[in-house]
Structures are given as structure tokens and as C-alpha cells.
Amino acid sequence: MRMNITPLPSPASCRRPFRDAIAANALLVAVTLLVPTGTAMANADCQGRFQTTVQPIMNTNCVACHQDAAPADGLSLQRTAAPASLIGKESRGSSLPLVTPGNPARSYLYLKILGTHLEAGGTGARMPVGRALAEADIKRISEWISECKAG
Ligand code: HEC
């Protein structure tokens, strides 16, 4: 009589489910690691774009008064301090933060350079004191704030 013996699975097919499980775990770990990294990158991006597009405007128009050594209104806009001195930081002159990521209309710095800060309950002069920034520079600052992500 012929015995019906099921052949043992070959070592390769035996290992496959194990390998797949490892692959699935590796994917999970990668995804878990990517989530916080993604948030950090949004912030790093925001800082990087500030350095390339906004800092030059600050250097030409603002840093004479808003410098590290004796910052006007306690606000330094020098490269060493900005944009950390702005993002999510309280303003002295209003109840709005200086920069609300993603929202120029809720960013006191933006209202100060537009000259609409008094309507928003702010104080003092339009910035820079005594004149207005070029339209193109105002637009660049607005775009930078809009593109920044919270967190
Ligand atoms: C001539 C000096 C001078 C220049 C140039 C200047 N500021 Fe100011 N800034 C001041 C003074 C003084 C104050 C406080 C009085 C006021 O708000 O008007 C101030 C206040 C501010 C505030 C309010 C800070 C707070 O916490 O409420 C912001 C924002 C600001 N400046 C941004 C800028 C920006 C952006 C520029 C360049 C585009 C600029 N300033 C150029 C002197 C200056």
C-alpha cells in the first residue's frame, strides 16, 4: 500500500513567512520613524526658506534697529536670532503672535509691515519705521508665512 506522505516544506518556503514578517515590521518601523521626521522637516524647511528669501529683506530693512546687541522692542531679526525669534512667539504690541505658521493674517509682523496692525488691536508705527517695504518684499514675507507648517 502506498503511503500518502506530504512532503515537508522546503527550507526556503518555510522561511518565507518569517521573512515577510520581518519585512512588514521593517516597513512599520520606517513609517513610525517617518512621521515625526516629516514634522521636523516641515519646520526645517520653514527655517531654510526664511534664510534664503526673508533674511536678506530683514538685513537691508530691519536689522539696523532689530539687532542682537540692542534690539528695538526686544526683537532681533538678525540671522543669529531669526526666525526662531518669530515663529509662534508672542508680540509685545498685540495679542497676536509675531508669526503664526500658515497664517499671515494672524501674524503681527506681517500686519506691521502691511500697516494694518492698528486695526488688529496693535500699537506703534508701520515697519520699517518711516516708510513701506517694496510690494515684492511684502509678498515674499507673506508667502514664506503661508508655506510654513505648524509644529
Ligand atoms: C528705525 C528703527 C526700526 C526699523 C528700521 C525697523 N523697526 Fe521694527 N520696531 C522699531 C521700534 C522702535 C519698535 C517699537 C515701537 C513700534 O511698535 O512702533 C518696533 C517694533 C516692531 C515690531 C513689533 C514687535 C512686538 O513684539 O510687538 C515688529 C514686528 C517689527 N518692529 C518688525 C520690523 C520689521 C519686519 C522691520 C523691517 C521691515 C522693522 N521692524 C524695521 C524700530 C524699527
The pLDDT assigned to 40 comes to: 52
Pick from 38, 73, 59: nearest CA to 151: 38
pLDDT, position 98: 98
Domain ranges of the chain: 43-147
Whether the CB of 133 sits within 6 Å of ligand 1: yes
**In this structure, which residue's CA is closest to atom 29 in ligand 1?**
109
pLDDT tens for the 151 residues of the chain, in order: 566 666 665 555 556 665 666 565 555 555 444 444 445 556 788 999 999 999 999 999 999 999 999 999 999 999 999 999 999 999 999 999 999 999 999 999 999 999 999 999 999 999 999 999 999 999 999 999 999 986 5
Determine whether the shortest distance from the Cβ of 66 to ligand 1 is under 6 A. Answer: yes
Q: What is the pLDDT of residue 36?
A: 45
Cβ of 91 less than 6 Å from ligand 1: yes
Atom of ligand 1 nearest to the CA of 130: 1
Residues paired with 97 in a beta bridge: 90
Cα 44 to Cα 17, 34, 57, 78, 103: the distances in Å are 40, 15, 20, 18, 18
Distance CA 54, CA 48 (A): 10
Does ligand 1 have an atom closer than 6 angstroms to the CB of 87? Answer: no
